[in-house]
C-alpha cells in the first residue's frame, strides 16, 4: 500500500513561502534582518528545508534498485546543472554583464550564488558515503542504528570543529544544516525515533522551547565570541525543535482545503520558486514608519503568496519546454 506523503509537500510549500517572505522583509523594512518576524523566519526556515530534504532522500534514494552511478548522476542533473545555469548563464540576461572571475560566480559560501543547490549536493554525497558504510556492516538493526547515529554525529562534529577552529561562522551553520539533513533521514528510517518525537508531551515541550528561543534569539554578538557561540547553540536547538513542531503540526492538524492545496502545489515547485527571481517591489522601496508590524506582516504575506503563484505559473510554462526545463531546473 502506497503511503500518502502530501504533508511533506505542504511543509515544503510553507517553508518556501517563508523564504520568499524573508527576502521581502530584509530589503523593504527599516530593521532589515533584525525585523522581528524576519528573525523568527531565519531561525528555522533553512534547517527545516534540509530536514525535509533528508526525509525525502531516504524515501526516494533508489540506490539499492538502480545503483550508485544512477544516484550520483541524478543528483548532478537535479542540483549541479541548474546551479551552473543560474550561476553562469542567467546573470548575463539579468544584469547585462558577465564576471570573468570563475571563483566569484561559483562561490556559494556565505549563502551566495544559489548556495542551497551545491550545499545539498555535497550533503547527498555524504549521505551516500554513510549509506555505503552501513551497507557493508553486517549487524543487527539495533547496532546498525547506533552506528548510523555515530557516523552522522562524527561528520557533523568534524565540520563544526573545523568552522570553530578557523573562526568561520558559516561553516558551523552548514554543519547545523547537515545535522538537520541527517535528522530528516533518521526520522523517516527509524520508527522508534519518529514515534517518540510525535508524542504530545514531546511536541508540547518543543513548542514551548521554540517560543522561548524566539523571544531571545538572536543575541547581539558584537564580535563577542561567547555570544556568537551561544547564538550557534540556540540556532542548533531551534532547528531541531522547529522540525519536530512543524512535522507534528502538519501531520496532526487539519488545514482548510484551499490552504492545503496551495502549500502542496508550492511545495512541488519549491525549487522553481527558489530559483526564479520575481521582483514585485522597487529595490529602493521601504515600508514607511507609520505602518505597524501587523500591517507590514500582512503586506509581506500577501506579496509572498502572489510572488510564489507567479513563479509557479512561470515554472509550469517552462516545464513544457524539455531542454529549458532541464537546464533551469534539472528536470528531464
Q: Please give the Cα distance from 218 to 190 (Å, whole number).
A: 32
What CA–CA distances, in Å, run from 265 to 19, 42, 64, 218, 292? 16, 23, 30, 32, 31
Q: pLDDT category, 2, cuts 50, 70, 90?
A: very low
And the C-alpha cell for 175? Answer: 554543519
Q: Please give the Cα distance from 97 to 105 (Å, whole number).
A: 12
| Higher-pLDDT residue of 320, 107 | 320
Query: Residue 120 has what pLDDT?
Result: 94
How crowded is residue 240: how many other Cβ atoms within 10 Å of its Cβ?
20
Cβ-count burial 241-276 (b if 16+ within 10 Å, e if not): bbbbbbbbebeeeebeeeebebbbbbbebbbbbbbb
Q: Please give the Cα distance from 322 to 332 (Å, whole number).
A: 7
Query: Residue 87 has what pLDDT?
Result: 84
DSSP 49-91: HHHHHHHHHHHH--HHHH-HHHHHHHHIIIIIHHHHIIIIIHH
Q: What is the pLDDT of residues 165-184, one digit of tens each?
A: 888 888 999 999 999 999 99
Q: Is 131 exposed, middle or buried (0-12, 13-18, 19+ CB in 10 A)?
A: buried
Q: Is 3 exposed, middle or buried (0-12, 13-18, 19+ CB in 10 A)?
A: exposed
Mean pLDDT over the full length of the chain: 88
Q: Please give the Cα distance from 212 to 313 (Å, whole number).
A: 39
Query: Residue 135 has what pLDDT?
Result: 83
Q: Please give the Cα distance from 139 to 189 (Å, whole number).
A: 16
Q: What is the pLDDT of residues 156-167, one digit of tens each?
A: 999 999 988 888
Query: Residue 218 has what pLDDT?
Result: 79
Helix 169-189 vs helix 116-136: angle between axes, to the nearest 10 degrees? 50
Q: What is the pLDDT of residues 130-147, one digit of tens each?
A: 988 888 886 666 678 888
Query: Do residues 11 and 250 make contact, with C-beta atoms less than 8 angstroms apart?
Result: yes
Amino acid at each position: 500500500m502506497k503511503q500518502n506523503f502530501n504533508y511533506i509537500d505542504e511543509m515544503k510549500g510553507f517553508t518556501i513561502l517563508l523564504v520568499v517572505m524573508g527576502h521581502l522583509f530584509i530589503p523593504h523594512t527599516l530593521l532589515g534582518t533584525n525585523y522581528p518576524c524576519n528573525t523568527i523566519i531565519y531561525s528555522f526556515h533553512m534547517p527545516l528545508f534540509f530536514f525535509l530534504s533528508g526525509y525525502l532522500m531516504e524515501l526516494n534514494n533508489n540506490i539499492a534498485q538502480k545503483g550508485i552511478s544512477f544516484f550520483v548522476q541524478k543528483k548532478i542533473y537535479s542540483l549541479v546543472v541548474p546551479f551552473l545555469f543560474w550561476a553562469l548563464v542567467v546573470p548575463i540576461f539579468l544584469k547585462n554583464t558577465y564576471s570573468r572571475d570563475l571563483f566569484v560566480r561559483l562561490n556559494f559560501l556565505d549563502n551566495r550564488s544559489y548556495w542551497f543547490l551545491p550545499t545539498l549536493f555535497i550533503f547527498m554525497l555524504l549521505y551516500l558515503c554513510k549509506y555505503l558504510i552501513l551497507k557493508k556492516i553486517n549487524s543487527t538493526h539495533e547496532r546498525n542504528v547506533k552506528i548510523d547515529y555515530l557516523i552522522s554525529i562524527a561528520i557533523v562534529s568534524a565540520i563544526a570543529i573545523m568552522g570553530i577552529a578557523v573562526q568561520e561562522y558559516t561553516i558551523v551553520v552548514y554543519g547545523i544544516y547537515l545535522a538537520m539533513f541527517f535528522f530528516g533521514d533518521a526520522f523517516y528510517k527509524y520508527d522508534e525515533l519518529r514515534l517518540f518525537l510525535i508524542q504530545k508531551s514531546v511536541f508540547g515541550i518543543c513548542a514551548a522551547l521554540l517560543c522561548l528561543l524566539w523571544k531571545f534569539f538572536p543575541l547581539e554578538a558584537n564580535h563577542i565570541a561567547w555570544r556568537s557561540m551561544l547564538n550557534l547553540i540556540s540556532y542548533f536547538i531551534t532547528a531541531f525543535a522547529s522540525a519536530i513542531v512543524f512535522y507534528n503540526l502538519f501531520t496532526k492538524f487539519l488545514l482548510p482545503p484551499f490552504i492545503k492545496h496551495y502549500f502542496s502545489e508550492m511545495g512541488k515547485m519549491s525549487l522553481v520558486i527558489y530559483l526564479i527571481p520575481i521582483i514585485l517591489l522597487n529595490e529602493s522601496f521601504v515600508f514607511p514608519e507609520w505602518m505597524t508590524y501587523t500591517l507590514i506582516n500582512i503586506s509581506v504575506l500577501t506579496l509572498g503568496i502572489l510572488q510564489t503563484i507567479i513563479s509557479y505559473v512561470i515554472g509550469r510554462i517552462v516545464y513544457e519546454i524539455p531542454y529549458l526545463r532541464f537546464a533551469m531546473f534539472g528536470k528531464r
